[in-house]
């Protein structure tokens, strides 16, 4: 097939924009050829269970799926009765960016809580975690966290333990959206289980797509008592891959070694380079009117720009408004973002801001 896109085009809109990591492509080729039993009874999915247990503990079970929305919906649905509700941050992906899938597909009531940095605390959870036994109120039975959050911030293991202890004391389970779990591990310098299993998380979604994979995610059950019926729900929600070996092979490429850390660590490093370049420009006056709105913990930078700058800059580099009303934007780095990409973006930003200065 003839290539019809320009591979030199770069953007900072999302780590979903990047292609597939070469080592993941190689894994797909290795998994190809011959026949393997369909629907997960293949050797690659069996090996994935061993690798996942190595990362998360002997009780962990992985359920490969196609995408993050599917992983979140299937995972949460397995944790809730029909009358159950989920407490989440008001910026949570399930609340803002999944098209109502939890509500429409699984009938899940969401109870969002305002939070400035995307992080929940026991005190914030308590604002919506009440009314147990009240037949007029959806019962808050799950706390939904994201690591790293939609605002690029991180929970420490201690913060997570405080949340899970609080939730469990009230009969609630804890679900972690791990779309960028690898970025969190790279930033924290900790093994995956240190801020999941060991911190008391019950079920999580394990992201691969944002970290160099192609349509490869998983629901990982850490406490089997917190999740029921996944073998049926995954099919019911149209997330059961017939040729599952190709989903599992990609997750193996990332997790059966250190590729997940190398890719995520590089993306984080490029975001740090971008932030440091902007900080230098703010200090020397070459980037007037730019201000940060969140700390840069992983691979995203949140900032505000003077009016009109974002639209002009987007003619060269694609990125998203986060809060257009106040000029807030989000820039995301990927596993294949280069230092040259970052420096070119900084130069373009500087060029647009010179007239403002």
pLDDT for 226: 97
Query: What's the Cα-to-Cα distance from 80 to each of 168, 218, 256, 335, 336, rounded to whole Å?
Result: 14, 18, 32, 35, 38
* Domain presence at residue 10: no
Alpha-carbon distances, residue 109 vs 104, 265, 354 (angstroms): 10, 35, 48
Helices (H), the chain: 22-31, 43-56, 68-77, 93-96, 101-106, 122-126, 157-169, 181-188, 230-236, 245-255, 259-284, 309-313, 339-353
Same-domain pairing of 117 and 218: yes
Residues 102 and 128 in one domain: yes
Tokens 């599952």, located at residue: 244
Q: What is the CATH number of the domain that holds 112?
A: 3.40.640.10
Q: What angle do CA 24, 296, 86 make, to 5 degrees?
A: 75
Mean pLDDT of the chain: 97
pLDDT tens digits for range 243-270: 999 999 999 999 999 999 999 999 999 9
Is position 105 within any domain? yes
Measured between alpha carbons, how far is 294 from 152 in angstroms, rounded to an integer?
8
Which of 220, 235, 257 is where one domain is finished? 257
Go through 178-217 and write b for each residue having 16 or more CB atoms within 10 A of its CB, e for each that does not: bbbbbbbbbbbeeebbebbbbbbbbbbbbbbbbbbbeebb
What distances in angstroms separate CA 204 from CA 174, 338, 349, 354, one per listed residue?
8, 30, 38, 46
Residue 13 is assigned to a structural domain of this protein: no
Could you tell me if 98 and 54 lie in one domain? yes
CA distances from 128 to 69, 113, 146 (A): 23, 7, 18
Domain presence at residue 290: yes
Q: Using only the alpha carbons of the chain, give its radius of gyration.
A: 21
Give the per-residue pLDDT at 249.
Answer: 98
> What confidence tens digit (pLDDT) does each residue in 39-75 have?
999 999 999 999 999 999 999 999 999 999 999 999 9
Q: Return the pLDDT at 355.
A: 62
CA 133 – CA 136 distance, rounded (Å): 9
Residues 147 and 252 grouped into a single domain: yes
Report the pLDDT value the prediction gives residue 354, as an integer from 0 to 100.
79
CATH number at residue 301: 3.90.1150.10
Average pLDDT over residues 197-216: 97
Domain end call among 257, 284, 301: 257
Tally Cβ neighbours within 10 Å of residue 328: 18
The two tokens of residue 151 are 């605002």
Q: Which of 229, 257, 285 is the last residue in one of the domains?
A: 257
Pairing label, strands 320-323, 291-292: unpaired
Q: Within 10 Å of residue 288's Cβ, how many Cβ atoms?
A: 14
CA dist., res. 149 & res. 155, Å (int):
8
CB 157 within 8 A of CB 145: no
Task: Label residue 133 left, alpha or beta by phi (over 0 means left) and psi (-120 to 50 means alpha).
Answer: left
Q: Based on the structure, what is the number of domains in the chain? A: 2
One domain for residues 205 and 276: no
Same domain, 38 and 115: yes
At residue 104, the pLDDT reads 94
Give pLDDT tens digits for 117-167.
Answer: 999 999 999 999 999 999 999 999 999 999 999 999 999 999 999 999 999
Domain for residue 91, yes or no? yes
Examine residue 15 and state whether it is found in any structural domain, yes or no: no
Assess whether 184 and 277 both reside in one domain. no
Instruction: Kindly tell me if the per-residue pLDDT of 357 is higher than 60.
Output: no
140 and 211 assigned to the same domain: yes
Q: Is the pLDDT of residue 356 over 80?
A: no
| Residue 267 in domain | yes
Does residue 174 sit in the same domain as residue 295?
no
What order of strands is seen across the sheet that includes strand 203-207?
A: 61-65, 217-221, 203-207, 173-178, 139-146, 84-89, 109-113
175 shares its domain with 196: yes
Q: Is the pTM of this model over 0.85?
A: yes
Q: Is residue 319 part of a domain?
A: yes
What pLDDT score was predicted for residue 196? 98
Q: Are residues 33 and 63 in the same domain?
A: yes
What is the domain range of residue 198? 22-257
Same domain membership, residue 97 and residue 54: yes
């Amino acid at each position: 097939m003839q290539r019809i896109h320009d591979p030199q085009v770069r953007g900072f809109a999302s780590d979903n924009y990047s292609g597939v990591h070469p080592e993941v492509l190689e894994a797909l080729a290795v998994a190809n050829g011959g026949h393997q039993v369909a629907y997960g009874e293949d050797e690659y999915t069996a090996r994935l269970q061993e690798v996942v247990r190595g990362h998360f503990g002997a009780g962990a079970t992985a359920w490969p799926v196609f995408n993050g929305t599917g992983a979140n919906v299937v995972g949460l649905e397995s944790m809730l009765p029909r009358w159950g509700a989920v407490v989440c941050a008001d910026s949570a992906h399930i609340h803002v960016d999944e098209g109502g899938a939890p509500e429409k597909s699984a009938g899940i009531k969401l109870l969002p809580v305002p939070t400035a940095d995307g992080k929940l605390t026991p005190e914030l959870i308590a604002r919506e975690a009440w009314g147990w036994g009240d037949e007029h109120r959806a019962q808050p039975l799950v706390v939904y966290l994201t690591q790293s959050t939609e605002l690029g911030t991180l929970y420490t293991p201690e913060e997570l333990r405080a949340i899970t202890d609080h939730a469990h004391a009230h009969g609630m389970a804890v679900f972690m959206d791990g779309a960028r779990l690898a970025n969190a591990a790279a930033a924290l310098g900790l093994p995956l289980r240190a801020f999941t299993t060991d911190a008391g998380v019950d079920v999580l979604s394990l992201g691969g797509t944002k970290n160099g994979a192609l349509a490869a995610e998983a629901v990982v059950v850490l406490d089997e008592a917190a999740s029921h019926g996944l073998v049926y729900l995954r099919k019911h929600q149209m997330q059961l891959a017939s040729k599952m070996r190709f989903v599992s092979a990609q997750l193996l490429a990332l997790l059966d070694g250190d590729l997940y850390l190398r890719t995520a660590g590089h993306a984080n490093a490029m975001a740090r380079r971008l932030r440091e370049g902007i900080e230098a420009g703010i200090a020397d006056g070459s980037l007037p009117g730019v201000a940060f709105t969140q700390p840069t913990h992983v691979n995203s930078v949140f900032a505000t720009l003077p009016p009109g700058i974002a639209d002009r800059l987007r003619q060269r580099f694609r990125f998203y408004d986060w809060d257009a009303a106040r000029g807030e934007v989000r820039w995301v780095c990927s596993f294949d973002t280069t230092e040259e990409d970052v420096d070119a973006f900084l130069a373009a930003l500087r060029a647009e801001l010179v007239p403002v200065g």
